[in-house]
Amino acid sequence: MEINSRTRLLGVMGWPIEHTLSPLIQNAAIKALGLNWVYTALPVESGRVAEAIAGARAMGFVGMNVTYPHKAAAVASMDELSPEAAAIGAINTIHFTDRGAIGYNTDVSGFTRTLAEDAHFDVKGKTVLQIGAGGAGHAMVAGQGAGGAGRVIIFDVRLAAAAELAELMGKAYPDTKFEALGDAKGIPEAAAIADLIANATPVGMKPGDPSVIDEALIESRHVVFDAVYRPFETPLLKAATRRGARTVSGLGMLGRQGCKSLAIWSGMQPDEALMLGKLKEALENG
């Protein structure tokens, strides 16, 4: 669709942001919906988040996505939060409405739907070992709590971060037992009882990165999820494949959270298959 004086704006705010694939999938889905909107990358330095959100609102943006490292900082600029966003204390989607700026976290449903769609895995009653308590980790743990997981063990070398997340999620989802683990010596025991092993760290993104967990700890009964989607087959997923486990790439989470964001902004159902297809094509082409 040709950009003109009636074109409305959307974008993803982060720092750095050059690597993002969100404009690719969002603009393809926007075109398919027949909307006169355009979506772009928005480089915003830390410390300028509130200023950027105020500027986007003033310029009549439909909404914004929020990515690393701004998901928590953006909360302060919201007039209203969805229940998931309030529980997590972080947002990845902003919708500018007559009620003000509303913050959502679509990473939560993006994670659980990807487990269900790509691995036919339901977290209800299951035990989870999650590596990482950062921004993505918050959403993934919330998804586990919302899905009724029985026990969630959160490992992070920053024990305080894991403990804070466990406490936060325990209040939001009291039927799930959340535990913090800060000593890597406890990982073998946690893996032995886990049904799902999930990586919520950036480890695996850089060439030469190791698997985030010792390959010998992965069993064929495990489902192994990696939030890293580039490369498509990370060291962790390669190790899991060798061990006969079911593997789930973070690509599905990226595509499905983006689809949910566009549905919030437009009130329409975007073509999820189109968005996932564009992601896979981009990764296959390097």
Find the mean pLDDT for residues 275-284. Answer: 92
What's the pLDDT band for 1 if we cut at 50, 70, 90?
low
Give the CATH superfamily of 8-105+252-284: Leucine Dehydrogenase, chain A, domain 1 (3.40.50.10860)
Per-residue pLDDT tens over the stretch 85-118:
998 999 999 999 999 999 999 999 999 999 999 9
What is the rounded distance in angstroms from the CA atom of residue 198 to the CA atom of residue 200? 6
The one-letter amino acid at 149: A
The question of whether 177 is a catalytic residue gets the answer no
* pLDDT, position 62: 98
| Fold of the 108-249 domain | Rossmann fold (3.40.50)
Model pLDDT, residue 157? 95
- Domain 8-105+252-284 and domain 108-249, same fold? Reply is yes
Is the confidence at residue 162, as pLDDT, over 90? yes
Mean of per-residue pLDDT scores for the chain: 95
How many CB atoms within 10 Å of residue 202?
15
* CA count, 13 A, side-chain hemisphere, 184: 5
Q: What is the pLDDT of residues 206-238, one digit of tens each?
A: 899 999 999 999 999 999 999 998 888 999 999
What are the backbone dihedrals phi and psi of residue 94, each rounded to the nearest 5 degrees, phi first? -120, 135
- Structural domain spans, the chain: 8-105+252-284, 108-249
Pick the catalytic residue: 71, 126, 260, 278? 71
